[in-house]
Amino acid sequence: MYRMTDEEFEAAIVEALDAMPGQFLEALQNVAVVWEDEPSAYHLGYDGEWDEEDGWEEDASAEDDPLPDDLLGLFDGLSIVERANGLDDDVPDVITVFKGPHERCFDSREEIVEEIGKTVIHELGHYFGLDEDQLAALGERYSSNGLRVFLQEEYSGNFLEPICNRAVDLGIVRIWSCYRSYNLEEFSNKKLVYHPICELQIGVDLGEKNPLYNHPEPSIAPEMLAGYPQILHESLDHGPYSDIMGRLNLPVSSVRYVVDSRATIYELLDKTGGYVLNSRKISLDGQPRLELRHHQWRFFPLKDCSVRSEIGYLTRENTVLTPEASTFIQMLKDYLLRDIIPNY
The one-letter amino acid at 151: L
Instruction: Render pLDDT for 204-235 as a digit per residue (tens, 0 to 9).
Output: 999 889 999 999 998 999 999 999 999 998 88
Among left, alpha and beta (phi > 0; psi -120 to 50; other), residue 77 is left
At residue 20 the predicted structure's pLDDT band, cuts being 50, 70 and 90, is low
> Which domain CATH number covers 179?
3.40.190.290
**Are 216 and 248 in a shared domain?**
yes
Q: What phi, psi does 248 have (nearest 5°)?
A: -95, 5
Q: What phi, psi does 231 have (nearest 5°)?
A: -115, 115
**Are 82 and 99 in a shared domain?**
yes
Give the H or E element holding residue 271.
Answer: helix 262-271
| Residue 268, domain extent | 148-344
257, 315 Cβ separation under 8 angstroms: no
> Domain boundary at 100, 125, 146, which?
146
Instruction: Render pLDDT for 159-210 as a digit per residue (tens, 0 to 9).
Output: 788 788 877 778 888 889 999 999 999 999 999 999 998 888 899 999 889 9
**How many structural domains comprise the chain?**
2
**Are 200 and 303 in a shared domain?**
yes
Query: Three-class SS string for 58-86?
Result: CCCCECCCCCCCCCCEEEECCCHHHHHCC
306, 127 Cβ separation under 8 angstroms: no
**Are 128 and 168 in a shared domain?**
no
Cα separation of 17 and 178, whole Å?
43
On the question of pLDDT at 50 being above 50, the answer is no
Supply the pTM of this predicted model. Answer: 0.54
Cα separation of 41 and 53, whole Å?
16
